[in-house]
Structure 1
Amino acid sequence: MKNDFEIRTTSLSASNKTLTGYVIKWNSRSHVLWDEFVEQFAPKAFNTSLEMGADIRALYEHDPINLLGRTTSGTLQLAEDAIGLRFKLTPPDTQLGHDVLTLVERGD
């Protein structure tokens, strides 16, 4: 089972070295991906993966070398709510983790 996702929303904030926001918002169309299609997710779309305890990873630039957190270690928490799939991420105490926090804090 592939567990790749990307953050496509502007509701992202950094405080106390933690990132929070939404991976997706329900029934909201994505931008056009690869000039081919758009994505739209219905509520509860991720129930099965979340209930199974899948090892979902937060990656920088989709690169497995650039691991920011994972559900199995508790550094990535995911939950569905009325708005969408919400996340809370505690990046690693590494240069990459510091860089990501700085970029988010600056609004980049």
Structure 2
Amino acid sequence: MLRTAGASEILERRTRPLTITDARVVTRAEGDNPAKVFTGHAAVFDSRTAIGNPLRWGWYEEIAPGAFTKTLDEGDARFLVDHDSRLLVARVSAGDLRLAEDDIGLATTVDPLDEELSYVRDLVRNLEKRRITGMSFGFYVVRDEWSTIEVEVTGPDGKTTTEQADLRRLLELRLLEVSAVTFPAYEDTDAGLRKLADEVRAARGLPTDSAHTSEGERPAPGETTRDENDPAPADATRGSQREDERAHALVARYGLPRQ
């Protein structure tokens, strides 16, 4: 089912390790003043990624080729460090940030890197030393498509079973910024995840009767949807076990619907 265009109001972020996004700094010879240039991919097309624990409360996700086409024609994205607007490295309208879709994904070039800015010098050094370990991008969803897929899972006993999981395919996005990031892991807020779950339910014609709390308020956890003898959720992609437990409680209460 397709989300209605423009319906999403949730700012989302996705991150990939540098080993996948091939980000690097190269030196471009320019007479007596060589300039350093950043190149890489902030997003990769058709690369299936686990958001949370897809077999319990999350989903798998893919970015479709062409998802950035319209936003690149209309937008004015920024290049930041760790999604911090105070650490502005480059901008499309300033001419030093180039974004384009290629066969891999969202190709990102900063040319030149302005090393008159101290934090850009820090960025270059941290990239060269592999202290900055990921590329990320912030976006709003314009159109997406959800489906149910079958996933083969091998248990601790070595037996393989087939499980069902949700697959979200991002068809059109509104890009705000790309970032070089220190922690290459998916991050989201509890409130954002809860609101996204409601949007998914609404898109599928299911009730969205959860009462949103005010910003910053932690909703009370609902009753668990798993048996007490079941094992705890597997490794999550959130920043800490506490955040994973909070997200698990939220989605157990307002669970991501399945078709």
Aligned to 1:18: 37
Confirm or deny: 8 A CA contact 2:45 2:65 kept in the other structure.
yes
Distance 1:26 1:77 in 2: 18
Please, which runs of 5 or more residues in structure 1 have no aligned partner? none
Task: Assess, with a 3 A threshold, how the Cα gap between structure 1 residues 69 and 5 changes in structure 2: closer, same or farther.
Answer: farther
AA of the residue aligned to 1:49: T
Confirm or deny: 8 A CA contact 1:76 1:87 kept in the other structure.
yes
Aligned to 2:72: 50
Distance 1:24 1:104 in 2: 18
Task: Assess, with a 3 A threshold, how the Cα gap between structure 1 residues 55 and 4 changes in structure 2: closer, same or farther.
Answer: farther
Confirm or deny: 8 A CA contact 2:50 2:58 kept in the other structure.
no
Spell out the pairing of 1:5-44 with structure 2 (5 A cutoff): 8-10=16-18, 11-16=22-27, 17-30=36-49, 32=51, 36=58, 39-44=61-66
State percent identity of aligned pairs: 28
Q: Secondary structure at the match of 1:68?
A: strand
Q: Larger Cα Rg: Structure 1 or Structure 2?
A: 2
* Count of aligned positions: 106
Confirm or deny: 8 A CA contact 1:9 1:23 kept in the other structure.
no
Please, which runs of 5 or more residues in structure 2 have no aligned partner? 1-5, 28-35, 132-259
Higher strand share: 2
